[in-house]
């Protein structure tokens, strides 16, 4: 097990390097550029100068190595300095990874935006799971019952109607018609007392609801399929032949076994919490990581998009490993050499 783990970790390094290169190459090839959003009155010659000042005139490999140096050496050093308070080398002149639009360090922007993303997207993920699992189990157990039919209907509609639509419907109903909930998320809001907590709950309700609904729609389908599959297996038959009651079989055996693939799915989905939810964040102006990424992409902010995507890749690789290990622990039949 330990050997397997160290082997996987060792291979993660070249993998991530290759990923970072591929990301950089794609971003570099993409046909948009950081001056696209400037007022049209700014002449092309000035745009060319701005691009030069961003270092865009340098060849591809130099820009890539510069990013690597800033991201893998300078940023970690900076982080160590900030935590320990020590000064390592010449920290003044050390170049950090800076966004091309705000010109501030990318890491700072990410830290600034994590709270709202974790609150909204994280909570919706948890709620999504809490809703999906019971629905999936019950609809499989009572396949083709009314409960199952309604569950199927709702989750299919939930999946085929995108979040930009459900979000807008909620805003029109709850903010415009009923004026119960704010349609804009205030990222500067502090929770100091009960009433400010209540406001936080109110402003989170709609985005969390939209995302949880969408997540649950998907997950409950997989849960249902997994339980159904297990209900058809021989061991259920044997257990029934032995005279065990359906409910006992379901809770003791089927549930455990059918949770297996679902748990991996849930683990694999965790990184998506950190990438945020691009559309939902836009609609409710949550301005978290998802919105940071999309504005970065729209303004061809390569350092920002590259760093964010790379951090996302690290999370994906890490959670993949976690999922595999969990899978191995939950299902002893799978062996790791």
Partner 1 sequence: MRRIVATLLLALPILLLGSCSRETTPEAPDEVEGNENVAVSTLDVDTHLKILYWQGPTTLNPYLSSGTKDIEAASIVLEPLAHHDVDANMVPILATEIPTKENGGLAEDRTSITWHLRQDIVWSDNTPLTATDVVFTWEYCTAEGGGCTAIDSFRYVERVVAIDDHTVRIEFVKPAPYPYGPFVGSVSPILQREQFKDCLGARAKECTDQNFYPIGTGPFRALEFKANDTVQYIANTLYRDEGKPFFQTVVIKGGGNATSAARTVLQTGEFDYAWNLQVEPEILESMRGAGKGEILTGFGSQVERIMVNQTNPDPKLNEEQRSVYMDGKNAHPFLSDINVRRALTLAIDRQILVDVLYGVSGRPTCNVIPLPEKYVSTNNDDCLTQDIEEANRILDEAGWVLGSDGVRAKDGIRLSLVYQTSTNSVRQSTQSLIKDWWQQIGVETELQNFDGGVFFSTDAANPFTLTRFYADVQMYTNSFEGNDPSNYVESWKCGNVPGPHNSWVGSNISRGCSEEVDALLDALSETFDATERVEIIKQLNDKVVQNVWEIPLIHRARVSARANSLKGFELNGWDSEIWSIADWYRE
Partner 2 sequence: MKLENLARADLSIQQAREHPSPWMIVWIALKSHKGALVGAGVFSFIVLAVLVGPLFYTVDPQLTDYAVRNQGISWQHPLGTDNIGRDMLAQVLSGGRIALAVGFAAMLLSLFLGTVVGVIAGYYKRLDGPLMRLTDLFLAMPLLPLLLVIILLFRDALRDIFGLEFGIFILIVFVIGITSWMQTARIVRGETLAIKEREFVLAATSVGTSGLHIISTHILPNILSPIMVSATLGVASAIITESALSFLGLGFPSDFPTWGRLLYDGAPWIGIDSTNWLVRVFAPGIAISLTVLSVNYIGDALRDAIDPRVRNK
Q: What is the largest CA-CA distance in the chain?
A: 83
C-beta of residue 272 within 8 angstroms of C-beta of residue 280: no
Q: Under the criterion CB under 8 A, does residue 15 sit at the interface with partner 2?
A: yes
Query: How far, in Å, CA of 266 to CA of 273, rounded?
Result: 11
Q: Under the criterion CB under 8 A, does residue 324 sit at the interface with partner 1?
A: no
Q: Under the criterion CB under 8 A, does residue 71 sit at the interface with partner 2?
A: no
Q: Under the criterion CB under 8 A, does residue 270 sit at the interface with partner 2?
A: no
Site track for partner 1 across 238-267, x = CB under 8 A = -------------------------x--xx
The Cα angle at residue 237 between residues 236 and 239, in degrees rounded to 5: 65
Query: How far, in Å, CA of 227 to CA of 246, rounded?
Result: 13
Token code pair at residue 6:
């160290």
111 binds, among partner 2, partner 1, none (CB under 5 to 8 A by kind): partner 1
42 binds, among partner 1, partner 2, none (CB under 5 to 8 A by kind): partner 1
Query: How far, in Å, CA of 324 to CA of 65, rounded?
Result: 33
Q: Under the criterion CB under 8 A, does residue 125 sit at the interface with partner 2?
A: no
Beta partners for residue 98, in sequence order: 105
Q: Under the criterion CB under 8 A, does residue 307 sit at the interface with partner 1?
A: no
What Cα–Cα distance (Å) separates residue 207 from each residue in 106, 139, 176, 201, 203? 25, 27, 16, 11, 8
Site track for partner 1 across 271-290, x = CB under 8 A = --x-------xxxxxxx---
Query: Quick one: which of 287, 328, 297 has its CA closest to 26?
Result: 297
51 binds, among partner 1, partner 2, none (CB under 5 to 8 A by kind): partner 1
- Per DSSP, 93 falls in state S
To the nearest 10°, report the CA torsion of 184, 187, 192, 195. Answer: 10
* Choice between 120 and 266, CB closer to partner 2: 266
The Cα angle at residue 90 between residues 86 and 91, in degrees rounded to 5: 60
End-to-end CA distance of the chain: 7
Stretch that binds partner 2, among 48-56, 71-79, 188-196, 290-298 (CB under 8 A): 290-298
Q: Under the criterion CB under 8 A, does residue 30 sit at the interface with partner 2?
A: yes
Q: Under the criterion CB under 8 A, does residue 187 sit at the interface with partner 1?
A: yes
State the nearest-atom distance from the C-beta of 284 to partner 2, in Å: 14
Chain residues that interact with partner 2, rule: CB under 8 A: 11, 15, 18-19, 22-23, 26-27, 29-32, 141-145, 149, 152-153, 156-157, 159-162, 164-165, 168-169, 172, 176-177, 218, 221-222, 225-226, 228-229, 231-233, 236, 240, 246, 260-261, 264-265, 268, 271, 293-294, 297, 305, 308-310, 312-313, 316-317, 320, 327, 331, 333-335
């Amino acid at each position: 097990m330990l050997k397997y783990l160290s082997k996987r970790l060792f291979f993660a390094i070249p993998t991530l390097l290759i990923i970072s290169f591929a990301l950089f190459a794609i971003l570099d090839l993409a046909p948009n550029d950081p001056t696209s959003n400037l007022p049209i009155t700014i002449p092309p010659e000035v745009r060319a100068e701005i691009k030069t000042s961003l270092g865009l005139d340098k060849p591809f490999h130099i820009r890539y190595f510069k990013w690597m140096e800033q991201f893998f050496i300078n940023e970690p050093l900076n982080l160590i300095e900030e935590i320990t308070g020590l000064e390592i080398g010449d920290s003044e002149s050390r170049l950090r990874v800076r966004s091309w639009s705000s010109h501030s360090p990318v890491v700072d922007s990410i830290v600034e935006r994590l709270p709202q993303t974790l609150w909204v997207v994280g909570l919706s993920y948890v709620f999504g799971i809490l809703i999906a699992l019971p629905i999936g189990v019950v609809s499989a157990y009572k396949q083709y019952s009314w409960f199952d039919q309604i569950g199927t209907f709702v989750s299919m509609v939930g999946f085929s109607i995108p979040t930009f639509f459900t979000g807008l419907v909620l805003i029109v109903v709850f903010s415009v018609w009923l004026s119960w909930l704010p349609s804009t998320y205030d990222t500067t809001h502090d929770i100091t007392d009960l009433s400010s907590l209540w406001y936080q709950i109110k402003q989170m309700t709609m985005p969390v609801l939209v995302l949880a609904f969408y997540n649950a729609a998907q997950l409950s389908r997989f849960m249902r399929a997994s339980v159904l599959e297990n209900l058809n297996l021989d061991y259920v038959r044997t257990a029934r032949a032995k005279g065990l009651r359906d409910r006992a079989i379901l809770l003791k055996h089927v549930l455990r076994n059918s949770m297996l693939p679902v748990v991996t799915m849930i683990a694999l989905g965790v990184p998506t919490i950190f990438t945020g939810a691009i559309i939902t964040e836009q609609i409710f102006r949550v301005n978290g990581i998802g919105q940071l990424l999309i504005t970065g992409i729209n303004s061809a902010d390569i350092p920002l998009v590259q760093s964010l995507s790379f951090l996302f890749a690290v999370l994906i690789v890490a959670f993949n490993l976690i999922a595999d290990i969990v899978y191995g622990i939950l299902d002893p039949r799978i062996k790791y050499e």
